Amino acid sequence: MKLAAKLILIFLLGVFAIVSLFAWQTIRRQHAWEAQRRSAHAGDIAATLAPTIQQAYETGGTITIQQAVEVSTRQLNGPEVHWMNDQENIPHQTETTSRQSASISITDAKGNRKAYSYVPINLDDETSGTVVVSEALNEQDDFMRGSVLTSMFSLLVVAVFSGVVIFFGGVQLVGKPLNRLIAQVNQIGDGQLDQPPVLESRDEFGRLASAISEMSHRISQQRDTIRHTDRLGTIGTLAAGMAHELGTPLNVVSGRAGLIKSGKLSAEEVVASAETIQSEAERMTKIIRQLLDFARQKPSTHALIGLNDVVERTCELMRPLAAKSNVDIIADLPNETIQIAGDASQIQQVLTNLITNAIAAISDSGSVTVSLADLPDQRCQIEVSDTGTGIDTADINHVFEPFYTTKDVGEGTGLGLSIAYGIVREHGGNLRVQSSPSDGTTFTISFPSQTCQS
């Protein structure tokens, strides 16, 4: 709408300038034409009266010329004509400087204007005079005022008509397409990617809509690639903890297999050892499956998922890494099942990033608590709290910015929390942080009521 208003304003200013210039030129030409007409008319009258004036001068001198002029112009309709000797002073403070025709217009105290045309006539070598033709300009002024009003009315009609046409044209052809494109861009900014073009027209807006749609597809692909890369980076961190977690059952399997191979066990002891080997193998298979499931890149599909299972599975996956750092992971889960519409693997990636950072923030020993709660206002939330060193006040406002990290070079990319924030926003939730250098850090993930069921 603002763009349409600007277009209307610019067009109206252009129309106003063009019509005003045309009206000014028309009035100016009309003035020039009227002046030329009056001068020519005065010359014609003077030429017509010249023989009469010459005869009156030869008969009675200059004294009888005025009488002859009055008699000759008595039937003349319109202008007033009288004779003026050169010895007389030209009225209206006008000084004769040459023997050429001249015209002036005078406005009296009542606002009435009159045009005076002076046409010189030579009677003989020594005597001359001037025929003065005066004409009231009231009708001409009325005509000019009418022309100005007509021009202003025409300008107003053109402006209103043009404004209406441009307004509706601007709204339909510019305003609405722009609003749809802006709404789509805002949706892409909120994480709703892979969008089709909102316009199918073949003009510039259609091309822009296609470009925005293509951009959303590329951003979606790049986002998935970045997230998968971040997930693989986390796998490297988890592998160190998994090595210890797998080492114990492998030693048990190896020892039991050695006993069975020795042949010194009874039939009951062989069965017991085989059951132990099977149990430890299933334990290792479960650990490896969890790691592979976390590392596998899968398309994002939102479905009804239980947050209890996601939190418990993530905590179990992270416990070997936490144990290596002498950190306990505590899962505080409610009895009732809390469900949201979302992607379980993405929620698990968010929790993994938060728990990994929490473990890294604990220098010696401590604990990380992951709690899930169904709030009274139909919102469910997950809190990840640690007993670590906390975040400095200067850094807390930047923790969700891409590539912002307080870790040493080579220890972090600064993408983990940014990716986590984007995933939470895509699920219609919000991610907040509270921290102080002495009391640890708490990340709170909340989901809106429409995605939360108990």
pLDDT tens-digit profile of 409-427? 445 555 678 778 888 888 8
pLDDT at 410: 42
What span, in angstroms and rounded, lies between the C-alpha atoms of 379 and 444? 12
231/391: higher pLDDT: 391
429: tokens are: 């939730």
The whole-number average pLDDT for the span 278-286 is: 76
Give the pLDDT mean for 164-180.
77
Categorize the per-residue pLDDT at 21 as very low, low, confident or very high, splitting at 50, 70 and 90.
confident
d(CA 140, CA 146): 10
Per-residue confidence (pLDDT) for residue 102, from 0 to 100? 77
- The whole-angstrom separation of Cα 65 and Cα 48 is 14
Query: Which pTM value belongs to this model?
Result: 0.48
Give the confidence band of 329 by pLDDT, cuts at 50, 70, 90. very high
| Sequential DSSP letters for 215-266 | HHHHHHHHHHHHHHHHHHHHHHHHHHHHHHHHHHHHHHHHHHHHHHHHT-S-
Burial class (CB in 10 A: 0-12, 13-18, 19+), 225: exposed
Radius of gyration of the chain (CA): 50
pLDDT of amino acid 96: 45
CA pair distance 374, 207, nearest whole angstrom? 46
**pLDDT, mean of residues 305-320:** 88
Assign 138 to helix, strand or coil. helix
Name the β-bridge partners of 391.
none
User: φ, ψ for residue 401 (rounded to 5)?
Assistant: -80, 140
- Encode 119-145: b = buried (16+ Cβ within 10 Å), e = exposed: bbbebeeeeebbbbbebebeebeeebe
Check residue 331 and give its pLDDT.
Answer: 92
Consecutive H or E run containing 62:
helix 62-72
Residue 80 amino acid letter: E
User: Residue 198 in contact with residue 188, Cβ under 8 Å?
Assistant: no
- In this prediction, residue 213 carries a pLDDT of 87
Closest CA to 224 of 309, 307, 296: 296
pLDDT given for residue 372 in this prediction: 92
Q: How many helices (H) and strands (E) does the chain have?
A: 10, 12
The residue written with tokens 């010189």 in the block is: 120
Q: CA 80 to CA 283: how far, in whole Å?
A: 126
pLDDT digits (tens, 9 = 90+) for 199-246: 888 888 888 888 888 888 887 777 667 666 666 666 666 665 566 566
pLDDT at residue 93, rounded to an integer: 45
Q: What is the pLDDT of residue 328?
A: 92
Residue 23 tokens read as: 């009206």
Q: What is the pLDDT of residues 66-91, one digit of tens each?
A: 777 777 776 667 788 878 776 554 55
Of the ranges 117-131, 187-201, 331-345, the best mean pLDDT one: 331-345
Greater model confidence, 98 or 56: 56
pLDDT value of position 209: 87
% of the chain residues with pLDDT over 70: 80
Confidence of residue 319 (pLDDT cuts 50, 70, 90): confident
Structure tokens at 262: 């020795």
Residue pair 339/311 in contact (Cβ under 8 Å)? The answer is: no
